[in-house]
Amino acid sequence: MGQAHADGHVLIASNRGPVSFTRGDDGHLSAKRGGGGMVSGLSAIAEDAGMLWVCAALTDGDRAAARLAPDGVLDSADVGGGTAVRMLDIPPHIFHRAYNAVANSTLWFVHHMLYDTPNRPSFGPGFARDWEAFRTYNEMFAAALARAAEAGRPNGAAGDAVPVRAVIQDYHLCLAPQMLAERSPGTQIAHFSHTPWAPPDYYRMLPDDVGREVLAGILGADHAGFLCRRWADAFVDCCAAFLGATVDADGRQVSYRGHLTSIGVHPLGVDAGQLRDRASHRDVLTRRAALIDATEGRKLIVRVDRTELSKNIVRGLEAYRELLRTHPQWRGNVVHLAFAYPSRHDLPEYREYTAAVQRLARQIEDEFAEPGWNPLILEVNDDYPRSLAACRIADVMLVNPIRDGMNLVAKEGPILSDRGCALVLSTEAGAAAELSANALMVNPFDVSQTAEALHAALAMDDAERTRRSEALAAAAMSMPPRRWFADQLHALDHITVS
């Protein structure tokens, strides 16, 4: 599967890129790996030559790096190995409105069904301005992709026998497929959604024209991919309900204004070899030893998330508190490691959410801590090796999102586990489609059920825990990123570009 790109030039586009730069006090720019599920999935395939990854410059360091690079293209040496990267220096006011106001405060909230509907959303004149910025941001990506497609096409001729394929990622870039199709008719286009898709009754909250523009934007692609059948079906239902698009009997193809888009389910999994190798590095081993020391061999419940509203960290902590109240035998015998690294702190909801998580953690400590036993270790800073170390020694992984496109932690935990872990998993995570047979499934809103599942997971005998963990790991490895990506390119091989 390593040669996914071999017979054509491949372009990737996403808001967040594989690296991010920071400028040190001496003015020197240093590169760090980008975060999140989409980036980790794509980074695993990014060493392949012949790819160009187009992303937004997110930090001042990124902007400086982009301006220094010839034509904005950082080659693989600039980004510490991997693919060539083109960072788009989008004007900050456009970027802010597109990323914060539309992508993360509107589309993310719709797809994850996060609105407190008596109060939000409320679409007024400010939103019209934000939406215009979102269009501009998508246009800038489409223009960069069209230019790269022309450059990558031998002889520069549209319709050349060697296809140029653009694989566009996520809700930030939902308008770009249609825009690129108009600018570059010879390019084969795939779009992939890393989020859930909202069902029509929730999606209709968007202003009518905006809702239609988003759907038509994605249908500009030749192939639209989703992480599980449930999200793909919701998208297709929205296309039928709001565009009047024609959907074939099994929801595998949507036809709109004479263009056919195939619909695919590509459940992103984990490259186990690469992950285990990273988790054997010295920085992870040091942290593993420190965590074992700090928790003195007690049972461990582990969670690792962005501090993200949809991850449901507050109800997870409530469930842990209920476990300690209703099953007192665990007091003194279990520690909850809750690692919630910072995310989207430009948005007030996220800052408030982090504060709510910290408040509840303090209450749990006040209620239960005893000399020699700290029931909870909450960390809200980013330490990737520490997260890997925690997954290695977990007895129980808690993954209870309100709604989640996939949730790779649910897959990474069993793969990393040294002695096998039990998985408490939300029915609303895309990963549930593959993992439910061997996980302990919970309704993420049902705190009492989650507390009982934590109890069952802690009490599970070793043989059953090992058996389930092995089965979970096997399922998690079944679609490694290379295959996931190759499948999307393969789907494009079966389309004819008009």
User: Which string of x and - marks every residue 368-407 that binds ligand F6P (by CB under 6 A)?
Assistant: -------------------------------------x--
CA gap 199, 210 in Å, rounded: 16
Q: Which of 184, 195, 295, 312 binds ligand F6P (CB under 6 A)?
A: 195
- Binding to ligand F6P (CB under 6 A) within 91-110 occurs at 104
Which of the ranges 31-39, 181-189, 245-253, 353-361 carries the binding residues for ligand F6P, by CB under 6 A? 31-39
Instruction: Give the C-alpha distances (Å, rounded to integers) separating 10 from 2, 171, 272, 385, 495.
Output: 14, 20, 25, 31, 16
Minimum Å gap between C-beta 412 and ligand F6P is 13
Q: Which of 29, 33, 36, 327 binds ligand F6P (CB under 6 A)?
A: 36
Number of chain positions touching ligand F6P (CB under 6 A): 11
Nearest to ligand F6P of 37, 413 (CB atom):
37
Minimum Å gap between C-beta 48 and ligand F6P is 20
Would you count residue 170 as binding ligand F6P (CB under 6 A)? yes
Would you count residue 194 as binding ligand F6P (CB under 6 A)? yes
Minimum Å gap between C-beta 83 and ligand F6P is 17
Would you count residue 430 as binding ligand F6P (CB under 6 A)? no
Nearest to ligand F6P of 37, 163 (CB atom):
37
Would you count residue 287 as binding ligand F6P (CB under 6 A)? no
Nearest to ligand F6P of 170, 395 (CB atom):
170
Specify the amino acid at residue 235: F
Nearest to ligand F6P of 169, 261 (CB atom):
169
Would you count residue 344 as binding ligand F6P (CB under 6 A)? yes
Would you count residue 168 as binding ligand F6P (CB under 6 A)? no
Minimum Å gap between C-beta 1 and ligand F6P is 21
Minimum Å gap between C-beta 456 and ligand F6P is 29
Would you count residue 38 as binding ligand F6P (CB under 6 A)? yes
Minimum Å gap between C-beta 406 and ligand F6P is 8
Q: What are the backbone angles phi and psi of residue 102, rounded to the nearest 5°?
A: -95, -60
Would you count residue 266 as binding ligand F6P (CB under 6 A)? no
Minimum Å gap between C-beta 84 and ligand F6P is 21
Which of the ranges 32-40, 73-81, 214-222, 419-427 carries the binding residues for ligand F6P, by CB under 6 A? 32-40
Would you count residue 312 as binding ligand F6P (CB under 6 A)? no
Would you count residue 37 as binding ligand F6P (CB under 6 A)? yes
Q: Which residues bind ligand F6P (CB under 6 A)?
A: 16, 36-38, 104, 170, 194-195, 343-344, 405
